[in-house]
Amino acid sequence: MDQPPAGLAIQGLLRPSFLEEHTTIQKQISEDTLSDADLNRIEKDDEHKENGGVQINGHKHESGSSLENPSWEELEKDEILGNGTSFYKLEMIRIQLISSNGNQIFVELDDFRRARSDAIVHSAAKIISRLKAAGEKTMQALRSLCWRCKGIQVEEVSLIGVDSLGFDLRVCSGTQVQTLRFSFRKRASSEYSAERQLNDLLFPRIHHKSRQKKESQQAES
């Protein structure tokens, strides 16, 4: 019943990172992952910079005009000498997404660079876990949803993914196994919003009545 994972193929060129790119990379490194030796080395590097020196790929240099635009030859030499941590950058040329069904889609590099994480990317696993913990009642509601919205009677069903736009079910109907997509009425902006819309689809009458009761109570007060 588990859906085969999608594949991602990236073609590019790997090169040593330039001096101006090091600051951005180092900001991503949490201080709590550094050892005492790393901290001591960073303190010495900072002291070296205060005295007018710079460091490329772990190798110290005195300041000079030749370091303003370091050449590939200098970076390669520094990598051979290599003291400390070295950084590399992947210059992407082509990205290809391979779906679980074998479909191949080329992703535009500009679209990839502009892309941002889904609003509930860190909450999806918790939502799925809570629904599975609800037991047979939720499984029956998922089967009913497949029949109401897709006209498919299923024997087995599993929630395999949730995002801000909807959710995916992996279902078994007879000898056929497939993935069904269900969309939310509007984009979810939070974990609560996604889970509420999912439950509205699974239990439409119950949630409709509870909302009517809540609205009537608010009107009376």
Here the tokens at position 194 are 């996604």
**Same domain, yes or no, for 158 and 75?**
no
3-state helix, strand, coil in the chain (%, to 5): 45, 25, 30
Q: What is the pLDDT of residue 56?
A: 47
Same domain, 206 and 147: yes
Q: Is pLDDT above 80 for 39?
A: no
The pair phi, psi for residue 190, each rounded to 5°, is -155, 170
Q: Is residue 105 situated within a structural domain? A: no
Kindly state the DSSP code that residue 41 receives in the 8-state scheme: H
Of 90 and 219, the structure prediction assigns the larger pLDDT to 90
User: Number of C-alpha atoms within 13 angstroms, CB side, residue 107?
Assistant: 18
109 falls within a domain: no
Last residue of a domain, one of 37, 64, 86: 86
Does any domain span residue 134? Answer: yes
Instruction: Give the pLDDT band (50/70/90) at residue 149.
Output: very high
**Do 131 and 215 sit in the same domain of this protein?**
yes
* pLDDT at site 113: 87
Residues 67-73 have a mean pLDDT of: 51
> Which residues are paired to 168 by β-bridges?
161, 181
Provide the pLDDT confidence category of residue 98 given band limits of 50, 70 and 90: confident
Same domain, 77 and 134: no
The last residue of one of the domains, among 30, 57, 86, is 86
Residues 77 and 133 in one domain: no
Mean pLDDT, rounded, for 40-45: 58
Say which residue, 86 or 174, is predicted with more confidence.
174
Asked if 69 contacts 56 with a C-beta cutoff of 8 angstroms, the reply is: no
- Residue 144 CA to residue 106 CA, distance in Å, equals 36
Quick one: what percent of the chain has pLDDT higher than 70?
59
Number of domains, the chain:
2
If asked whether residues 49 and 130 sit together in one domain, one would say no
Residue owning tokens 């996604």: 194
Q: Which residues of 153-163 are buried (b: 16+ CB within 10 A; e: fewer)?
A: ebeebbbeebb
Which of 70, 86, 102 represents a domain boundary (last residue)? Answer: 86
CATH of residue 133: 3.20.180.10
Number of H helices, E strands in the chain: 8, 8
Residue 110 falls inside a structural domain: no
User: 135, 12, 19: which is closest to 72 by C-alpha?
Assistant: 19
**Is residue 64 scored above 60 in pLDDT?**
no
Q: Which domain holds residue 207?
A: 124-220
Phi then psi for residue 89, to 5 deg, are -130, 135
Phi and psi at 69, nearest 5°, equal -130, 80
**Cα–Cα nearest to 101, from 8, 3, 191:** 3
Per-residue model confidence as pLDDT tens digits over 107-145: 899 998 898 889 999 999 999 999 999 889 999 999 999
Say if 78 falls within a structural domain. Answer: yes
217 falls in which pLDDT band (50, 70, 90)? low
Q: Among the ranges 8-22, 87-101, 155-169, which has the highest mean pLDDT value?
A: 155-169
Is 73 part of a structural domain of the chain? yes
- Strands 166-173 and 88-98 turn out to be unpaired
Average pLDDT over residues 27-32: 55
The amino acid sitting at 219 is A
In a domain, 4, yes or no: no
Would 102 be classed as within a structural domain? no
| Shared domain check, 81 and 132 | no
Same-domain status, 139 and 67: no
pLDDT-derived band at 90 (thresholds 50, 70, 90) equals confident
